[in-house]
Amino acid sequence: MTAERLAVWCVSDLEQVARVAARIREFCTRPPLTDRDLMGIELCVVEALNNAIEHACGGMPANHGIRVDATWEAPELQLEISDPGRAMPPGVLEAAARRALEPDTDDPGALPERGRGLAIMQHLMDRVSYRSDRDRNTLVLVRRYHESSTPPEPR
């Protein structure tokens, strides 16, 4: 099976996020992916770009380029979101993986207001990894889609 690829660039500006996410969603619109799958992919791209723009590139000139690479090699989708900003501190990804998306309904006042993005991506994807070298940081999201697959249930 030949891999199909799409690369989309944007500057570090939250106003760019919807456009990039729409391009990736359009690329992923193919069997066997369902509307629910596509919603999950769009959400993951948006969350990854938000993090890159706000946390990695926050405070830097907006012309810093952020790149999203999508690779479809049936039945696997790989998304790579890379930025030239500050690296994510060690342990953040692992901590998000341990964080259950289970709110304390007895005390709404204690609900966290931020910090759900990485946990959401980890719930929607099969694998989430992160690497950082001298020039760029790259978040890698991988998910396999089968005809009979159903979206993972929240953990």
DSSP letter (8 states) at residue 85: S
Going across the sheet that includes 137-144, the strands are 4-11, 65-73, 76-83, 137-144, 127-132
By C-beta, is 37 or 80 nearer to another protein?
A: 37
Residue whose entry in the numeric block shows the structure tokens 């989708």: 77
Residue whose entry in the numeric block shows the structure tokens 């005390």: 107
| Smallest distance, another protein to C-beta of residue 3, A | 28
Residue ranges that bind another protein, judged by CB under 8 A: 14-15, 17-18, 35-36, 39-40, 42-43, 46-47, 50, 53-54, 101-103, 105, 108-109, 111-114, 116-117, 120, 123-124, 154
By C-beta, is 15 or 126 nearer to another protein?
A: 15
| Smallest distance, another protein to C-beta of residue 91, A | 20
Q: Smallest Cα–Cα separation from 81: which of 65, 61, 95? A: 65
| Smallest distance, another protein to C-beta of residue 57, A | 13
